[in-house]
Amino acid sequence: MDNVKTSNKDSAKIKIVGIGGAGNNAIRNIIKKGINVLPSSSELPMFFTKARYEVDVEYIAINTDAQQLYMLKEECDEILKDQGKELKIITIGKDNKDTGFRKGQGAGGDPERGRKAAEDSLDEIKEALKDADMVFLTAGLGGGTGTGATPVIAKALKEMGILTVAVLITPFLFEGERILKAREALADIQGYVDSFMVISNEKLKNIARKDLTFLDVMKMADNVLYRAIKGIVEVISYPGYINLDFADVESVLRDGGYALIGLGASTGENRIKDALEKAVQNKLLTLNNIKGAERILVNICGGPDIRMEEVTYVGEHIKSLTNRDDAVVYLGVTVDPKATGKVEVTIIATNFSQTFTIEDIMDIPKNQDLTAVKSPFFGFSSSSSSEELLPGDEGLFGLLLEEE
């Protein structure tokens, strides 16, 4: 922990950047659903009327497809205008006769074009990000723009010293060639960002109910991504009786490597135990266990009825779940006047002692020959198996399939 750099500022500027088609869709979903940096002061106890950290969130969409960007901006600016904000868009790339690339017309699924486009527009990208304290990079890997441009942007942010977290979506196994591209890109990205989370479409497919449509699974992927970013931002910005701030989050995420974010909510007599179990066993992310994590950030949010024994339960159990004597736990407690009867637990875990391969992280079965996967229907055969649903999963699916 000696090499962890922390911020002493009393405010934080966070920029959420969507790269390529899937990243742009993620930005749209995040803006539609909204991230609350602070409850209204009228809902808070008197001494919470000013947050310890003021958080400013900005949204940026980057793509080689200009038409998609302009349509996205028009839609998102209508939502953001009440906040006095607007979506910044950056069309990347320059006309290139040798490669046939034309600015604004997309990368054609070619990661090399996406990479070159980001390099051609790197000065503009860096200018848009230079004043950030923290940047989230969101992208789908396996196509052209997101796959090629994200490593370039991540490298630039590392050189600028900006805390960077990547939240990435990887393809289904039946997309054999796209999986290979995604694997190569992820290997590059993890060398540049401080921490990264992976949402595997294959994982979602395997745990989803069989009656869910393809669009349902895509919505779930976007909403897992949204809740991961929302969870981190709101942990920083919400005032608490036991407060967590930007420096705490930075201590966990800086040079953290693979990151697990767990979200659990429950009601009833055993609500804190149930919420904690759901948070530490997040079935929607790969490698869904905090065992081996050195740095853990835990935030408990409940109503005015949250009990001391519930806070104590989390504090006493969370470290033991890491199976590490040297684990460092940052614990926060937030009270929401509207949450009577309910508790939520958010966990961020990083710096795992074990080494994860790219295949582990992307949920690729061992000895899977991706080059042999040709059929677009691979994985949807009648023999494909889903993991058995556990208690609470139906509620989780309902949460991730909810409309704005």
Query: How do the pLDDT tens digits run along the chain, 404 residues long?
Result: 444 434 445 778 999 999 999 999 999 999 999 887 665 444 555 544 444 567 899 999 999 999 999 999 999 999 999 889 999 999 999 988 877 888 989 999 999 999 999 999 999 999 999 999 999 999 999 999 999 999 999 999 999 999 999 999 998 888 878 999 999 999 999 999 999 999 888 877 776 667 777 787 788 788 888 888 888 888 888 777 777 888 899 999 999 999 988 888 899 989 999 999 888 876 666 666 788 999 999 989 888 899 999 999 998 888 888 888 899 999 988 887 778 899 988 888 999 988 888 888 887 777 666 665 544 433 333 333 444 444 445 555 555 555 54
Residue 304 within any structural domain of the chain? no
What pTM value is reported for the model? 0.86
Residue 154 within any structural domain of the chain? yes
**Contacts by 228-231, CB closer than 8 A, 24 or more apart:** 228/167, 228/197, 228/199, 228/261, 229/16, 229/30, 229/35, 229/136, 229/138, 229/167, 230/30, 230/33, 230/35, 231/261, 231/263, 231/346, 231/348
Q: Given this model, what pLDDT does residue 383 score?
A: 34
By the 8 A CB rule, do 378 and 197 touch? Answer: no
Q: Given this model, what pLDDT does residue 28 score?
A: 95
What residues make up the domain containing 386? 11-260+358-401
Encoded tokens for 276:
């904690």
The string of DSSP codes covering 253-278 is: HTT-EE-EEEEEEEESTTHHHHHHHH
Total tally of structural domains belonging to the chain: 1
Rounded CA-CA distance 61/145 in Å is 12
Helix (H/G/I), strand (E/B), else coil: 112 = helix
Residue 6 within any structural domain of the chain? no
CB atoms within 10 A of CB 5: 12
By the 8 A CB rule, do 330 and 297 touch? Answer: yes
Q: How many percent of the chain have pLDDT more than 70?
A: 81
Rounded CA-CA distance 355/198 in Å is 16
Rounded CA-CA distance 380/369 in Å is 18
Residue 152 within any structural domain of the chain? yes
Residue 278 within any structural domain of the chain? no
Rounded CA-CA distance 262/109 in Å is 32
Cα separations in angstroms, 8 against 11, 54, 245, 306: 9, 13, 10, 30
Strand-pair category, 293-302 with 260-267: unpaired
Residue 275 within any structural domain of the chain? no
Q: Which CATH number is 369's domain given?
A: 3.40.50.1440
Helix (H/G/I), strand (E/B), else coil: 200 = strand
Q: Which residues pair with 15 in a beta bridge?
A: 58, 135
By the 8 A CB rule, do 313 and 281 touch? Answer: no
Rounded CA-CA distance 78/74 in Å is 7
Residue 274 within any structural domain of the chain? no
Rounded CA-CA distance 87/61 in Å is 7
Encoded tokens for 298:
């835990």
Rounded CA-CA distance 45/227 in Å is 26
Question: How many CA atoms, within 13 angstroms, populate the side-chain half-sphere of residue 67?
Answer: 4
Residue 67 within any structural domain of the chain? yes
